[in-house]
Structures are given as structure tokens and as C-alpha cells.
Structure 1
Amino acid sequence: MTSSASIIRVSAAVFINEDLEVLTVRKRGTEGFMLPGGKPEVGESAEQTARREVLEEIGINLQPAQLKHLGTFRQQALNEPGMTVEAEVFLATVEGMSWLKVHPQREIEQIRWVHPRHGVMENQAPLNTEEVFPALLKLVPDYSSVESLAVFCGSRTGENPAYAQAARELGQRLGQEGIALVYGGGRAGLMGEVSDAAVAAGAETYGVIPAFLQNAESAHHQLTHLEIVDTMHERKARMAQLADAFVALPGGPGTLEEFFEIWTWRYLGQHNKPVFLLNINSFWDNLLIMMEGLKHEGFAAEAYFEGLTVVDTVDQLLQEITGK
């Protein structure tokens, strides 16, 4: 049981931008990021404390009607060893805000935006990662908005039966969860395994295939939607348009090319959708080593890895996507 002497009581506010990222702040002389907020002054309500601290730290003057109580959360304190922080957290609604105009003030040295599901959690306060972010994923409807998943995978099944098994499991789970499948439109290899399973499970299915590959990849004519395009570029652009998230299963050079392009598009700001690697049977381990090498040698910034999540099982993938 935590004694009252070891509890730090604070109020904090959650700001969410158009990319569903949460504003966090770092105080001067510290390394960790927390929500804007702080300790109450004598006679203040929790709401009044949150409004005052937000104004002092990031210059936003909130009115009472703009705050909705999200909950009371407890977790170990970020900067005070052995202490527990108890936070009254409010969800702030700010219409038409230009977030580029929001700057650190007073003791705040840096602002960082982080997606509560797919963002880089390095140096985030335990209160954020263990309590507030999971609560947001459950309580804020926008975070459950993944309605379609683009699947990049091989036109062969590979040597290990585990790859086809995972593809079938994924297709079946998409149907069960009511998530549409977006993929390359073929029926060969893992593409056929995932799409056949999705069709059988009642999932809505979108296939996008270039005309010149209809025979080579056996265009799947039992899909809900099958689109024939002229080029590979059109195929990838259309899949990116249709999907709310992306995952790469085992595959060959074509799968790698699709994955790297969509991952790079995210880094360049062309989209803010989550990207996953489904690392069945450690298939992507060598690729991950190479990717770490890019970062180590100075060719890829840490920001490049934001929004990329590696999962080992279909269950983990669906948990990340649905928040369940």
C-alpha cells in the first residue's frame, strides 16, 4: 500500500492533434516526457490546476467547457524515485488550433508528439505509457478507426508451412474483426492464402492488380472488389489510399519493395498510418539487423522508426490494430 507521504498529486491535460498524436512535454534539466500539467496551488480544483499549468507551460488558455475528465491514474513518478504520481487527467478539446504555433514556455524545454499506440515510447513517463495512453485507446473512438488493413506478402508460399498458416489465420481474423483486407489481388502463394481465408470469413476484400499480372498472379475473382490498374505504381498508390494500416508478411523482393515504399512514405509525411512487420518464425530478423545498421551508420534517423511495429504473431498484430 502506498503511503500518502509518497504520493504526488497533479492535474494534467491531454491534447490530440489531427494525426491522433498526444502532446507531451519535457522539463528543462530532465530527460523524460510527461503530459502538460503540475501540482495544485492552495484552494485550486483539479480542473483549475490543469488550466493554469497548461497556460504556463505551453501558452494555451483553456476554458472550463474545453476540459472533460478522463480519469484518475496512478503510476510511479518520472523524476522522483520512490514516489507515486496520482494524476487527475483531462481531455482538452481545442478547435482550429495551429499546433505549429504552440511552443514550450517557462520550465518546459521541448514538446514531443507521440501516437499512443504506434509512437516511439522512449523516455515517456510511466503514467503515459502504462495508464493514460491505454485509456485513450479504449475511450477515444478515433483510435479504433482501423477499418482496413493492407497486406503485403509473397506470390509463393515459401518453404515453411508456418507462413501459409499465418496468412490463413490473418485472413480469418480480419473477417471476425470486421476489418477489410486490401492486398495485391492475386490468388497465388500467400496472397491466395490470406485472401481465400478472408473471403471465407466474410471479410470485405479489395484486390488491386496490374493488368499484366492477372495471369502470373492468378487474379482473384471472388473478391468483394477487384480493381485492374495499368502499373505497379498505381497498384501501390491505390492500396495506400484504401488502407488504414499496413503489414508485411513473408515474401520476396516485391514484398520488400512494397514495405519499404510505404514505410518511407510515412517518414516523409505522405501518410501517418501504422506500419507492421509480421515476423513469423523470425523471418524478418536479418532485415531488422540491416535496418538497425542503417540507423547505427547514420543513414536513418530514429524518427524513421516511428510508426513501425514488429509483431511475432497474428494475435499480437490484431491486438495492436484493435486495441483489444
Structure 2
Amino acid sequence: MPVIHIAAALLHDGAGHLLLVRKQGTAAFMQPGGKIEPGETPCAALLRELDEELGLQASAEACRFLKRIEAPAANEPGHTVRAELFALRWTGAIKVAAEIAEARWVTPDDAVSLSLAPLTRDCVLPLWPCLS
């Protein structure tokens, strides 16, 4: 099964909310982030994607690597997503841009009522209690 290697953020506000995004033309909410370009570190890829998609300009020092996680891709049938997952606390403004259609700050309880990408549902949300 082909693997899509990405960097993703468990982006939280420190007050019990995490940010989930939904790409244009899709139904599933997921972590912000995106594909790692050749020669790019996972952290650099994450910072680039957060800036492009949400207008969020964080520092590398603010990103804390959590772990590598894997699940079936939500939007690419027959593919696996392998994510380098970082925790990032953010209380500043965000601006939906690029391919993002919607961004929502949700509690983990609210999140389970949404259509979620397998990576978010099965790998990210179970980590949430460790951070809050």
C-alpha cells in the first residue's frame, strides 16, 4: 500500500480545545499539516503548511515532537498516511487559506460527533488526554 508521508499538528489552545481542519471537496476533519517535501525536515514542513493553510507563524521551538503515527488515508483510497505528529499550543489568530475549506476549535468530546479522518480518530484523539 503506498505511503503518504506528512507532518501534522495536534494544535491546541491550552484550554481544552484542539483545531481540526477540513480540506475543500472533502468531508473528513483532520489535523492541520501536509506532505513533507524532498530535503525538508518534518518540523520545517509543518511550519510551512501551517503558514500556507492557516496563516499561523509558529517557531520550531514551539513544536514538540510526539510520535510517528499511521492510518488509512481519508482522501486517497488505497493509501496509508504516515504522520510525524507534533504538539503545538496556539492562541493566536488563524486564517483559513490554500486548500482548507473549514477550521474548527473543538473539544475532544465535540470532535467525535464530526466526520473524522482515521488518523485523527484512531491515533490523535487518544493522545489528547496526555496533553490537556
TM more than 0.5: yes
1:19: Cα distance to partner?
Answer: 3.6
Q: Once the two structures are superposed, what CA deviation does each residue of 1:66-86 show, in whole Å capped at 9, x if it has no partner?
A: 000011101111101111100
- Residues of 2 paired with 1:53 and 1:69: CA distance? 16
1:42: Cα distance to partner?
Answer: 1.6
2:101 paired with 1:109: yes
- Residues of 2 paired with 1:18 and 1:45: CA distance? 26
1:24: Cα distance to partner?
Answer: 0.8
- Residues of 1 paired with 2:12 and 2:111: CA distance? 16
Structure 2 residue aligned with 1:42: 38
The 1:92–1:18 alpha-carbon spacing in structure 2 relative to 1, beyond 3 Å, is: closer
**Which structure carries more strand by proportion?**
2
User: Which residue identity is paired with 2:46?
Assistant: A
The 1:93–1:42 alpha-carbon spacing in structure 2 relative to 1, beyond 3 Å, is: same
Q: TM-score under structure 2 normalisation?
A: 0.91
1:43: Cα distance to partner?
Answer: 0.5
2:84 paired with 1:84: no
Structure 1 residue aligned with 2:4: 8
Percent same amino acid among aligned pairs? Answer: 34
Q: TM-score under structure 1 normalisation?
A: 0.39
- Residues of 2 paired with 1:74 and 1:8: CA distance? 10
What's the RMSD between the two structures over aligned residues? Answer: 1.4
Structure 2 residue aligned with 1:25: 21
1:18: Cα distance to partner?
Answer: 4.6
Larger radius of gyration, structure 1 or 2? 1
- Residues of 2 paired with 1:120 and 1:41: CA distance? 29
2:69 paired with 1:73: yes
2:109 paired with 1:136: no
3-state SS, counterpart of residue 15 of structure 1: strand
Residue ranges of structure 2 left out of the alignment (5+ in a row): none
3-state SS, counterpart of residue 91 of structure 1: strand
3-state SS, counterpart of residue 86 of structure 1: strand
2:120 paired with 1:124: no
**Alpha-carbon contact 2:14-2:89 (below 8 Å) kept:** no
Question: Alignment length, in residue pairs?
Answer: 131
- Residues of 1 paired with 2:125 and 2:53: CA distance? 21
1:25: Cα distance to partner?
Answer: 0.7
- Residues of 2 paired with 1:81 and 1:107: CA distance? 19
Q: Once the two structures are superposed, what CA deviation does each residue of 1:163-202 show, in whole Å capped at 9, x if it has no partner?
A: xxxxxxxxxxxxxxxxxxxxxxxxxxxxxxxxxxxxxxxx
3-state SS, counterpart of residue 89 of structure 1: strand
**Alpha-carbon contact 2:13-2:89 (below 8 Å) kept:** no
User: Which residue identity is paired with 2:5?
Assistant: R
- Between the two structures, name the one with larger relative contact order (CA 8 Å, sep ≥ 6): 2
The 1:30–1:66 alpha-carbon spacing in structure 2 relative to 1, beyond 3 Å, is: same
- Residues of 2 paired with 1:37 and 1:87: CA distance? 9
Q: Once the two structures are superposed, what CA deviation does each residue of 1:120-157 show, in whole Å capped at 9, x if it has no partner?
A: 422111111110110222x22x3xxxxxxxxxxxxxxx
1:40: Cα distance to partner?
Answer: 1.1
- Residues of 1 paired with 2:13 and 2:62: CA distance? 15
- Residues of 2 paired with 1:7 and 1:73: CA distance? 12
1:32: Cα distance to partner?
Answer: 1.1
Q: Once the two structures are superposed, what CA deviation does each residue of 1:196-231 show, in whole Å capped at 9, x if it has no partner?
A: xxxxxxxxxxxxxxxxxxxxxxxxxxxxxxxxxxxx
